[in-house]
Amino acid sequence: MQKNAFPRRTLLLGAALGLSMPLLQACGGGDDHAEIPHIVDLAKGNPDLSILVEAVVAAGLADTLSTDTVTVFAPTNAAFAALLAELGISKEALLANKALLTQVLSYHVLGTRVLRNEVPLGKAIEPLDGGFFKVEAGTSLRITDGRNRVSQITTTDVLARNGVVHVVDRVLLPANQDIVDTVQSLPEFSVLVEAVIAADLVSALQNAAALTVFAPTNAAFATLLAELGLSKEALFANKPLLTQVLTYHVLGARVLKAEVPVGTAIATLQGQTFTIGADLQITDRRGRTSQIIGTDVFTSNGVIHVIDRVLLPAA
């Protein structure tokens, strides 16, 4: 690589963002890399990232983002304006809430440099202070955050001395609901919620650090009751059976759609296994099949996949 290739690329990327950077000296034998700005200085040079800079300063994160090697997903001023409207607060109120501000900003930072072609598409990406989100490819790169909100990455690979910046059009938010809170908020899982309560599994699903739940819909439970010839009340009264069935739907780790081991026996908390095909069809231990009809519903302690039939372990 020619000596000035890396700084020149940085300048071109900066120009595309409207960044104001000092021109590199054409001669003099100095260290060209030293001319590349740190992430905070780079953001200061872009008027469209001025609110981000204010937020970083208010949260006391300027030193971290100027010295550590990081990747920053940088929301524009328009992204912050949309967030303020969404949350119903003023910019001053957001900047004054240091705890919230730090949590939100840290969720945009990875503890290493990750260029566009190094992003693990579809897989869980863990920011600096915990939580996770995913990036997927479409007409452009899009991020799904912990609250299942979608942001577009509008510019990638803006290089800084201590890392890289990708610009996003929406402020990312970490999850604020656990698995139980999430299913309780969705009416199509009301029977599942009743079942979890009847089996005394609420605490187990709330307190675990990372789980995957294959969540049957109300229609799936109605089909199961007809198949077993039971009423809902009879099923819920049989706590050992109910617990066995429900824990057969739970994995003891977070597994996103892109991370599913296709065709491999997958161990559940109940102890038995099932398999998932490339068509996202699950085959349980009784040879019955269920289709995954919704994937990657994020929560604070894991992920939910929606299925159209209740799974049953071997009798």
**HEC-encoded secondary structure of 126-193:** CCCCCCCEEEEECCCEEEECCCCCEEEEEEEEEEECCEEEEEECCCCCCCCCCHHHHHHCCHHHHHHH
Looking up tokens 């009340």 gives 233
Q: Give phi and psi for 214, each to the nearest 5.
A: -95, 105
The total domain count for the chain is 2
Question: Could you read off the pLDDT of 57-94 as tens digits, one per residue?
Answer: 999 999 999 999 999 999 999 999 999 999 999 999 99
Residue 315 in domain: no
Residue 232 in domain: yes
Rg (CA), the chain: 24
pLDDT at 16: 42
Give every CB contact of residue 279 below 8 A, 6+ residues apart in sequence: none
Half-sphere exposure in the Cβ direction for 233 (13 Å, CA): 0
Residue 159 in domain: yes
196, 140: one domain: no
Residue 218 in domain: yes
CATH, residue 203: 2.30.180.10
Residue 199 in domain: yes
212, 132: one domain: no
The distance of Cα 186 from the centroid of its chain, to the nearest Å, equals 19
pLDDT at 280: 98
pTM beyond cutoff 0.75: yes
164, 183: one domain: no
Question: How far is residue 98's CA from residue 39's CA, in Å, rounded to a whole number?
Answer: 21
Mean pLDDT of all residues in 116-121: 97
34, 100: one domain: yes
Q: Which domain holds residue 250?
A: 179-307
227, 145: one domain: no
Mean pLDDT of all residues in 289-314: 98
pLDDT at 138: 86
